[in-house]
Structure 1
């Protein structure tokens, strides 16, 4: 029996003008993805560039997706590479929101975004048409139209070259969002780890203001809720509010610091 494909909640939220709040799960645990969904986060960020399982491991990725599906949250997946083959593989597994690492030109972004579409910019796209999990193994209704409508592909802006090319990148058709990566950007600009360095802050603002002016969604890291709220007021719509390891560190450190007895 044919069945309708689900709506992408993250895409719908930002298109309606809302702000999506998510958590970076750096344990890559289906249990925690499911728990975060029950807690009410809008998305769980899985970073396959800096850690986690190999995204070619279909069974592992599918279990993470099932955990998200079961609680109505979305996965936001950063790939380790922007190759069209990897983009198509992730989408066929059922990922609907992904972003590319370390791109430096509009041509790279366009090639990846085109690989995520059956129809692209008034012509043929470069997506593979089969019957994978994303199509519910052939049972999904209007798969071509639904997939093109619900897929969200963005890119990280984390190199000096990407900042220089930001206007051309923002002009790529169907670019879903840009996500600012201040740490890698600080390395590219020659100030490793100095995300408050004036040159880094200027580059971040250049990208943010250009994206807002172009009508492209902006995403980024939140450094505490005061920072998250300020960024939301300044046009960010996809915001990371913390990580699993950060939450555990704060909780466990607080428990240990609060103990008044002897531990020796």
Structure 2
């Protein structure tokens, strides 16, 4: 018996021009992914660029995806580079929301989005067809006809070349979102560890204005809740609130600070 096609709650939020809130789960633990869903977060960011399992580790990814399904949230998975093979592998494992790093041009972005589609811009796409977990192992009704609608692929804008090419990048058909990356922008601009440097903030603002003009959803990092609220009001639709280790550090240190020795 065929099963219903998958649905993507993060895609629905973006389509409704609403704001999605999430957290970077940098312990890569399925129980925490499930718990964050129970707490009401819209997405859990799994970063495979800077740490975590290999992007090719399908079993680890499937465990995280099952936890997201149980908790009622979406995984937002970042890949280290726009490699079409890695994109297809992640999608077949069941990832619905991807963003890729290390892009500089619209051509790179187009190849990445094309790799995520069975049909793309009126032509055949470059996604391979099989019966993977994404199709519930071949049981999903009209998998080929519905899957493209449920996949969101975005890119990180994190270097001056990408910022210079931002208009062309935003014009790539079916680009799901752009994510402004101030930490890597700071490095590429010669200000490592200074995401609030004036030059970095100027580039981030250029990304924001271009994304709003092109009507492409914009994602970014929140540096405290005042900053999150400000960015939500400024047009950001995907906002990361913090990280597992950051939250634990804050709470544990507050406990230690409040402890009074006998």
Coarse TM-score class (shorter-chain normalised): over 0.9
2:139 counterpart of 1:139? yes
C-alpha displacement of 1:258:
1.0
Alignment-derived partner of residue 117 in structure 2: 117
Alignment-derived partner of residue 34 in structure 1: 34
2:152 counterpart of 1:152? yes
Q: For residues 160-179 of structure 1, what are the structure 2 equivalents within 5 Å?
A: 160-179=160-179
2:95 counterpart of 1:82? no
CA RMSD of aligned residues (A): 0.7
CA deviation vs aligned residue, 1:127-152 (integer Å, no higher than 9, x gap): 00000000000001111122100000
C-alpha displacement of 1:237:
0.2
Q: For residues 29-68 of structure 1, what are the structure 2 equivalents within 5 Å?
A: 29-68=29-68
Give, in whole Å, the separation in 1 of the partners of 2:217 and 2:109: 15
Give, in whole Å, the separation in 2 of the partners of 1:57 and 1:233: 38
User: TM-score, length-normalised on structure 2?
Assistant: 0.99
Give, in whole Å, the separation in 2 of the partners of 1:257 and 1:80: 38
Give, in whole Å, the separation in 2 of the partners of 1:6 and 1:122: 23
C-alpha displacement of 1:210:
0.3
Give, in whole Å, the separation in 2 of the partners of 1:137 and 1:196: 46
Q: Please state whether the residue corresponding to 2:35 is helix, strand or coil.
A: helix
Q: How many residues align?
A: 262
Alignment-derived partner of residue 222 in structure 1: 222
Q: Please state whether the residue corresponding to 1:88 is helix, strand or coil.
A: helix
CA deviation vs aligned residue, 1:60-81 (integer Å, no higher than 9, x gap): 1100000001121000000112
Alignment-derived partner of residue 185 in structure 1: 185
C-alpha displacement of 1:196:
1.7
Q: Please state whether the residue corresponding to 2:237 is helix, strand or coil.
A: strand
Alignment-derived partner of residue 20 in structure 2: 20
Q: Please state whether the residue corresponding to 1:236 is helix, strand or coil.
A: coil
Aligned residues of 2:159 and 2:189 also touching (Cα < 8 A): yes
Moved over 6 A (4+): none
Alignment-derived partner of residue 245 in structure 2: 245
User: TM-score, length-normalised on structure 1?
Assistant: 0.98
CA deviation vs aligned residue, 1:29-68 (integer Å, no higher than 9, x gap): 0000000000000000000000001121111110000000
C-alpha displacement of 1:6:
2.3
Give, in whole Å, the separation in 2 of the partners of 1:184 and 1:48: 15
Give, in whole Å, the separation in 2 of the partners of 1:197 and 1:242: 20
Aligned residues of 2:81 and 2:103 also touching (Cα < 8 A): no
Gaps of 5+ in 2: none
**206-215 or 193-202: bigger deviation:** 193-202
Q: Please state whether the residue corresponding to 1:46 is helix, strand or coil.
A: strand
Gaps of 5+ in 1: none
C-alpha displacement of 1:14:
1.2
